[in-house]
C-alpha cells in the first residue's frame, strides 16, 4: 500500500516537475524574443509596415505578458492560505495541467498559459515541501530527467509546445496533452483520497517540512545550474568538447542516482567521515573544482567531472529543507520568492556574459550598472562558482544532521532498474544518425548563413525555416548543400530555448558538424559538412567590442588538402558623435590583419591549397577591407559580378541593407552560373549565400 502510494506521488511530482521545467525554459525564451521584437517595433517610424513579418509582436502584448508573469511568480504566496487544505495539491496540479493544455489549444496565448503553468508549478513545489517533503527532490530530479528524454527524442529541441507536432505515440501534441491532463487529474485525485483514508486510519500526524532560509537561496542557484548547464546534456557536451550522444545517458544516470536510497546511504557514509564543521565546505570545494576542471579541460575527462557535478548537485536538494516547527507559521511560501529572485539574478548574469557588448547606454544614475554589465565578459565560470557556493550554503551551515536517509530494499532495487532503463533509452534516443555523403564529389555546393541565434529579423523562431532554407533550393529544385558555414549559432542558451542549433541542424540534414565557441561555450561558429572532417582549429581574434573569431577545418575530399575557414568579424566602431574611429582602433581592421596572418602561416609560401573563406565580415564591398581581399590577395569573390541590389545579404528592420557576408575562393573554380544570394527564403536577418564549386578545374558540372 505504501509503496503504491509513494509511486503514484512520485509520478505526479515528476510530471509537474517536467511541466515546470519546460514552462520556465519556454517562458524565458519567449519573453526574450518578444521583448526584442517589441523593442525593434518601437524604433521604427511606421510599425504597421512590420505587421506581416514573422515574429512581429505589439508592445502592448509584451506588457500584458510581463504583467501575467509578475502575477504568476507571486502564486506561491497562495500556499499561506491553502497549505492546510487537503485538496490544495490537486488544485495546483489541475491548474498546471490545464494551463499546459491551454498553451496548445490556444497557441496565440501560449506565453500567458506558460506563465500559468509556472505559477501553478511553483505553488505545487511549495505545497510539496510543506506537506510531502520526501517527494520534493523527486519532483525536480524526475522533471529534469523527463525533459532530457523529450529533448533527446527531438535532437535537443522541445517540440511539445507546438500543437500539431507529433512527439509521442503518433498523437498530435494538443490531443496528447489533453489526454495526459485527464490522466494526471485522475491520478492526483486517487492519491489524495488515499491520503484521506490513511489519515483516518492512522493517529500519527504526517511529517511536515519547510524550506530553510539559505535553502531558498540554494534552490534558486539549483535552478540556475540545471537550466543553464547540467540539466542540458548538449550544454555539458559543449563544455567538455565531446558529443551529445555520449552526454545524454551519463547525465540521465547522474540525475537519477540521488533518488536511489542505497546511493544516498553511501554518500552519507562518505560525508559522515568528516567533521561537521568542514562537511559543507568540502562539498562546495569539490563541486567548484569539478566546474573548474570541466571548464578548463576538454574530452571525456571533462565530461566525466561534469557528470559527477550533476550527481553532487542533485544530492544538495535534501539539505534545502528542514522539519517544520509545529505551532509556527511556515515561511516556505515567502522564501520561495527569494528562490525566484536568485534564479533571475544569476540567469541575467549568464545572459550578459554572452551579450555584454550590446548593453546600451544608461542614463545617470544607472551608468554604473551599464559598466557592470559590460564587464561580464568571460565571467561564465565565476558565475557558476558563485552558484556553487550558494547551492552548498545549507550544507555549510548544517553541522549536525545529514538528511540523506535509507529506504526499503525494494525501493533501491526498483529505482536502480529504472535508472538503467532510462540510461539505455536515452542512449538509443541520442544515437548519431548516419551521415549522407555528397551525390557528386566533383561538383559541390557551399553555403554561408548567419542564423541570428535561431531567430528571424523580428525574433520569430527560425529553426524549421533554416532546415528548409539549407536543404531546398529556389525553383523547387532539391539540391542539398554539401558544406555549410554558420555564424551566430547558439548551442544551449536559455535565450534560445536550450536548443543546440548545430546538433539539431546536423542531425536533421544528416551532416557532420563541428563548432568553435566565441563567447563562453554556447555561442559561436559552426561548419556542417557531408565530406568527412579531418581536423578543426579555431582562434579568438582581438576584440574590444563583440568577440570575433575564426575556425578552420580540413576536409577529406581527396588526396590534396581542402580547407574551409569560417569567420565572424566585429562591427565598425564609432565615437560618441557617431563618427567612425580611426582604422588602427577598428576591431575589423585588427581582426582582418590577424585573419590574413593566420592564413599566411597555414598556407605559405606556395599558397597552392584549395581554400574556401566565408562568413560574416560586417563590412560592405565598397570599403577598403573588401578591396584588400579583392585586390591584394589571390582570393576571388564569385559574387563580384552580381548587381549590388542582388548581392546584399543583410536586411535590417528599417529597410536598410548591405552585403556583410562573403564566400571567397582560392585555387577553386566556381561552377558556371553556380552563384546565388537566396532571397526567397527569409530565415534570418541575413540571407543565404551559395557557391557551386568544382573539385578539379576539368570537372563538368550542370
Taking only the tens place, the pLDDT of each residue in 164-212 is 888 888 899 889 999 999 999 988 888 777 776 666 656 556 778 899 9
| Bridge partner residues of 580 (DSSP) | 574
Domain 443-694, CATH: 3.60.10.10
Residue 423 phi, psi (nearest 5) = -60, -45
Who's near 195: CB < 8 A, 6+ residues apart?
Answer: 5, 86
Least confident segment among 164-168, 254-258, 265-269, 629-633:
164-168
**Grid cell of 18 as nine digits:** 517536467
Nearest C-alpha neighbor of 97 from the set 6, 31, 176: 176
Who's near 52: CB < 8 A, 6+ residues apart?
Answer: none
The structure's pTM equals 0.94
Contact 89, 128 (CB under 8 A): yes
Contact 243, 514 (CB under 8 A): no
For residue 546, the 8-state DSSP code is S
Taking only the tens place, the pLDDT of each residue in 259-279 is 999 999 999 999 988 888 899
Instruction: Say what percent of the chain tops pLDDT 70.
Output: 96
**Grid cell of 238 as nine digits:** 559543449
Separation in Å, CA 538 to CA 515, 551, 590, 665: 9, 4, 17, 19
**Grid cell of 687 as nine digits:** 540571407
Contact 452, 685 (CB under 8 A): yes
Parse the chain into domains and list their residue ranges. 1-207, 212-432, 443-694
pLDDT at residue 119, rounded to an integer: 95
Separation in Å, CA 73 to CA 68, 117, 122: 9, 10, 8
Q: How confident is the model at residue 472 (pLDDT cuts 50, 70, 90)?
A: low
> Does the pLDDT of residue 462 top 50, yes or no?
yes
Least confident segment among 26-40, 41-55, 294-308:
41-55
pLDDT at residue 200, rounded to an integer: 60
Q: What H or E segment, with its residue span, contains residue 670?
A: strand 669-678
Q: What is the rounded end-to-end Cα distance, in angstroms, of the chain?
A: 73
For residue 78, the 8-state DSSP code is G
Taking only the tens place, the pLDDT of each residue in 370-383 is 888 888 899 999 99
> Does the pLDDT of residue 687 top 80, yes or no?
yes
pLDDT at residue 479, rounded to an integer: 59
> Does the pLDDT of residue 352 top 80, yes or no?
yes
Contact 318, 404 (CB under 8 A): yes
Amino acid at each position: 500500500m505504501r509503496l503504491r502510494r509513494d509511486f503514484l506521488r512520485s509520478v505526479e511530482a515528476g510530471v509537474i516537475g517536467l511541466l515546470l521545467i519546460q514552462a520556465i525554459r519556454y517562458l524565458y525564451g519567449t519573453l526574450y524574443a518578444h521583448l526584442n521584437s517589441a523593442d525593434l517595433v518601437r524604433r521604427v517610424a511606421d510599425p504597421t509596415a512590420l505587421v506581416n513579418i514573422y515574429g512581429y509582436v505589439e508592445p502592448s502584448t509584451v506588457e500584458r505578458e510581463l504583467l501575467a508573469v509578475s502575477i504568476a511568480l507571486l502564486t506561491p504566496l497562495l500556499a499561506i492560505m491553502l497549505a492546510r487544505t487537503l485538496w490544495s495539491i490537486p488544485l495546483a496540479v489541475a491548474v498546471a495541467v490545464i494551463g499546459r493544455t491551454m498553451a496548445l489549444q490556444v497557441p496565440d496565448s501560449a506565453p500567458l498559459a506558460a506563465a500559468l503553468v509556472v505559477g501553478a508549478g511553483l505553488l505545487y513545489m511549495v505545497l510539496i515541501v510543506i506537506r510531502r517533503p520526501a517527494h520534493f527532490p523527486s519532483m525536480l530530479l524526475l522533471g529534469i530527467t523527463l525533459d532530457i528524454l523529450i529533448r533527446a527524442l527531438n535532437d535537443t529541441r522541445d517540440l511539445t509546445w507546438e500543437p500539431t507536432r507529433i512527439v509521442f505515440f503518433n498523437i498530435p501534441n494538443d490531443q496528447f496533452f489533453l489526454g495526459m491532463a485527464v490522466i494526471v487529474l485522475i491520478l492526483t485525485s486517487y492519491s489524495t483520497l488515499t491520503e484521506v483514508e490513511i489519515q483516518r486510519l492512522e493517529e500519527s500526524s504526517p511529517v511536515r517540512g519547510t524550506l530553510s532560509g539559505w535553502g531558498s537561496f540554494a534552490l534558486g542557484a539549483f535552478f540556475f545550474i540545471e537550466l543553464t548547464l547540467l540539466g542540458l546534456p548538449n550544454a555539458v557536451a559543449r563544455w567538455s568538447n565531446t558529443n551529445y550522444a555520449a552526454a545524454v545517458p551519463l547525465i540521465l544516470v547522474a540525475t537519477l542516482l540521488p533518488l536511489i536510497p542505497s546511493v544516498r546511504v553511501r554518500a552519507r557514509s562518505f560525508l559522515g567521515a568528516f567533521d561537521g564543521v568542514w562537511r559543507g565546505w568540502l562539498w562546495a570545494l569539490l563541486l567548484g573544482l569539478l566546474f573548474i576542471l570541466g571548464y578548463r579541460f576538454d574530452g571525456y575527462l571533462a565530461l566525466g567531472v561534469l557528470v559527477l557535478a550533476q550527481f553532487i548537485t542533485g544530492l544538495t536538494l535534501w539539505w534545502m529543507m528542514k522539519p517544520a516547527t509545529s505551532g509556527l507559521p511556515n515561511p516556505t511560501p515567502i522564501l520561495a520568492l527569494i528562490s525566484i529572485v536568485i534564479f533571475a539574478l544569476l540567469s541575467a548574469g549568464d545572459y550578459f556574459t554572452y551579450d555584454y557588448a550590446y548593453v546600451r547606454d544608461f542614463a545617470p544614475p544607472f551608468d554604473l550598472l551599464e559598466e557592470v554589465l559590460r564587464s561580464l565578459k568571460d565571467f561564465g565560470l565565476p558565475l557558476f562558482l558563485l552558484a556553487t557556493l550558494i547551492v552548498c550554503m545549507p550544507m555549510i551551515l548544517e553541522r549536525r544532521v545529514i538528511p540523506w536517509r535509507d529506504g526499503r530494499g525494494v525501493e533501491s532495487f526498483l529505482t536502480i532498474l529504472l535508472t538503467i532503463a532510462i540510461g539505455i533509452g536515452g542512449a538509443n534516443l541520442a544515437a548519431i544518425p548516419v551521415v549522407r555523403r555528397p551525390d557528386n564529389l566533383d561538383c559541390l555546393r557551399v553555403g554561408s548563413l548567419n542564423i541570428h541565434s535561431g531567430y528571424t529579423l523580428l525574433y520569430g523562431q527560425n529553426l524549421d525555416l533554416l532546415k528548409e532554407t539549407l536543404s531546398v533550393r529556389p525553383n523547387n529544385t532539391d539540391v542539398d548543400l554539401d558544406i555549410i558555414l554558420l555564424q551566430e549559432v547558439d548551442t544551449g542558451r536559455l535565450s534560445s530555448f536550450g536548443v543546440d542549433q548545430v546538433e539539431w541542424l546536423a542531425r536533421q540534414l544528416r551532416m557532420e558538424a563541428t563548432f568553435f565557441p566565441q563567447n563562453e561555450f554556447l555561442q559561436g561558429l559552426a561548419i556542417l559538412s557531408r565530406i568527412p572532417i579531418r581536423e578543426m582549429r579555431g582562434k579568438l581574434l582581438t576584440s574590444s567590442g563583440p568577440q570575433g573569431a575564426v575556425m578552420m577545418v580540413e576536409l577529406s575530399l581527396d588526396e590534396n588538402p581542402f580547407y574551409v575557414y569560417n569567420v565572424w568579424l566585429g562591427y565598425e566602431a564609432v565615437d560618441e558623435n557617431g563618427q567612425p574611429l580611426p582604422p588602427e582602433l577598428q576591431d575589423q581592421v585588427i581582426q582582418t590583419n590577424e585573419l590574413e596572418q593566420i592564413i599566411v602561416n597555414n598556407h605559405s609560401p606556395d599558397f597552392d591549397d584549395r581554400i574556401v573563406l566565408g562568413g560574416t565580415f560586417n563590412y560592405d564591398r565598397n570599403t577598403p577591407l573588401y578591396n584588400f581581399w579583392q585586390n591584394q590577395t589571390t582570393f576571388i569573390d564569385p559574387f563580384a559580378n552580381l548587381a549590388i541590389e542582388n548581392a546584399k545579404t543583410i536586411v535590417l528592420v528599417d529597410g536598410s541593407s548591405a552585403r556583410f557576408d562573403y564566400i571567397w575562393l582560392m585555387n577553386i573554380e566556381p561552377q558556371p552560373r553556380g552563384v546565388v544570394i537566396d532571397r526567397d527564403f527569409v530565415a534570418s536577418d541575413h540571407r543565404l549565400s551559395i557557391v557551386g564549386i568544382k573539385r578539379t578545374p576539368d570537372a563538368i558540372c550542370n
